[in-house]
Amino acid sequence: MHIDDYDRKQPLYDAFAQTVAAVLAAAIEHAGGYRLQVVRARAKDPVSLRTKLLERGQADADDIDQKIKDLAGCRAIFYTNGDIEKLLASGLVEDNFEVIERRIHQPSLEPEAASGMYTANHYVVTLKADRLALPEYARYAGMRCEIQLQTILNHAWAELEHDIIYKKPPQTPHFGKQALDSIKQRLRGIATKYLVPAGYEFDKVIVDFDRLMHGKALLDRGALAAISQAVDNNARYEAIESFGEHVLSLYDEPESVIAEVMAVLSAAAEQAEAAPTVSIDTPFGALAGKNFEDIAGLIGRVLRPYRYLDVPQMLAVARRLHRLATSSAERKPGTELAQAIAKPELTMWNAYGPAVQRLVVEAVAALDTDTLRRELPLLAEVLESILELEATSSTFSSNAVALNRGTLPGSAGLASIRNHALHQLERLYASAQDDSERNRIVAAMGHAVRPPYGAAPTRELSRILIANAVWVIDFFTGIVGGASLEQARVLEQRVHRYFNRFRAVRPELADDPELVRLTGELAMATTRFRGALATVPDLSAYKVLVGFDSVFPPSWEDQDFGHEVIERFRAEQADALLAQIDAQNYPEWLARLTLFAQTESTDAATFMKFGPFLQALARKLPAPTLAHLDRFDGRLRRFLFWSLAGLLQSPLGPDTLRRIAEWLERGESLREVSRLLIVAPDVPEELFRAVLASSIAHADHEALKNVGHACERHFSGERAAPSFHQSVLLEALAYLVEHNDNSWSTAGGGFWWYHSEVLQALDDSAAQQVLEWLVPHPELDAHGDYVVAAVCKDRPLLALDLIDRRLAAARADAVPGFVAIPYELHETTKVLRTVPEAVLGASRLWFEADEQSLDHSVERLLEAVFEDFPPGLRASLEALLASDQRDDVLFALDVLGAIDEQEAAFELVRCVVALWADDEDVMDRVHSVIAHEGMTVGFDGRVKALAAKKARLEPWLTDPREQVRNFAKVAIHDLEQRIAIESRRTQTMLASRRMQYGEDPLGPAGSDTPTKPGTA
Would 577 be classed as within a structural domain? no
Give the closest residue to 48 by CA, choosing from 92, 9, 7, 20.
7
DSSP letter (8 states) at residue 141: T
Q: For position 825, what pLDDT does the model report?
A: 83
Would 279 be classed as within a structural domain? no
Q: For position 779, what pLDDT does the model report?
A: 79
Would 37 be classed as within a structural domain? yes
CA distance 1004 to 993: 10
Per the model's pLDDT, the better-predicted residue between 759 and 62 turns out to be 759
Would 590 be classed as within a structural domain? no
For residue 935, pLDDT over 80 is answered with no
Q: Which of 466-480, 893-907, 971-985 has the lowest mean pLDDT?
A: 971-985
For residue 111, pLDDT over 60 is answered with no
Taking a C-beta distance cutoff of 8 angstroms, is the pair 528, 472 a contact?
no
| Number of domains making up the chain | 1
Task: Give per-residue pLDDT as tens, 503-559.
Answer: 999 999 999 999 999 999 999 999 999 999 999 999 999 999 998 889 998 888 877
- For CA atoms 509, 513, 514, 518, the dihedral sign is positive
CA distance 923 to 967: 10
Would 710 be classed as within a structural domain? no
Percent of the chain whose pLDDT exceeds 70: 92
Confidence bin at 167 (pLDDT 50/70/90): low
Residues 6+ apart with CB under 8 A from 777: 742, 745, 784
Taking a C-beta distance cutoff of 8 angstroms, is the pair 839, 860 a contact?
no
For residue 200, pLDDT over 70 is answered with no
Confidence bin at 1015 (pLDDT 50/70/90): very low
Task: Give per-residue pLDDT as tens, 220-230.
Answer: 778 889 999 99
Q: For position 1016, what pLDDT does the model report?
A: 36
Q: For position 305, what pLDDT does the model report?
A: 94
Per the model's pLDDT, the better-predicted residue between 652 and 47 turns out to be 652
Angle between helices 782-791 and 796-812 (to 10 degrees): 140
For residue 32, pLDDT over 70 is answered with yes
CA distance 338 to 314: 8
Q: For position 812, what pLDDT does the model report?
A: 85
Per the model's pLDDT, the better-predicted residue between 177 and 329 turns out to be 329
Would 195 be classed as within a structural domain? yes
Task: Calculate mean pLDDT across residues 430-457.
Answer: 93
Q: For position 564, what pLDDT does the model report?
A: 83
Q: For position 191, what pLDDT does the model report?
A: 65
Task: Calculate mean pLDDT across residues 830-847.
Answer: 95
Q: For position 287, what pLDDT does the model report?
A: 84
Taking a C-beta distance cutoff of 8 angstroms, is the pair 895, 854 a contact?
yes
CA distance 448 to 467: 10
Length of the chain: 1016
Confidence bin at 195 (pLDDT 50/70/90): low
Confidence bin at 1003 (pLDDT 50/70/90): low
Domain that holds residue 60: 3-170+177-199
For residue 292, pLDDT over 90 is answered with yes
Confidence bin at 411 (pLDDT 50/70/90): very high
Q: For position 772, what pLDDT does the model report?
A: 95
Would 129 be classed as within a structural domain? yes
Task: Give per-residue pLDDT as tens, 561-601.
Answer: 777 888 899 999 999 999 999 999 999 999 999 999 999 88
Give the closest residue to 969 by CA, choosing from 983, 979, 954.
954
Q: For position 954, what pLDDT does the model report?
A: 93
Confidence bin at 1002 (pLDDT 50/70/90): low
Would 566 be classed as within a structural domain? no
Tell me the CATH number at 137: 3.30.460.10
Task: Give per-residue pLDDT as tens, 724-750.
Answer: 999 999 999 999 999 999 889 887 666
CA distance 313 to 112: 60
Cα 583 to the chain's mean position, in Å? 59
Q: For position 868, what pLDDT does the model report?
A: 87
CA distance 72 to 126: 11
For residue 1013, pLDDT over 60 is answered with no
Note if the pTM is more than 0.85: no
DSSP letter (8 states) at residue 409: P
DSSP letter (8 states) at residue 44: P
Q: How is 942-996 classified by DSSP, letter by letter? A: HHHHHHHHHHHHGGGGG-SSHHHHHHHHHHHHHHHHHHHHHHHHHHHHHHHHHHH
Q: Where are the alpha helices (DSSP H) in 432-506?
A: 435-446, 459-480, 485-502
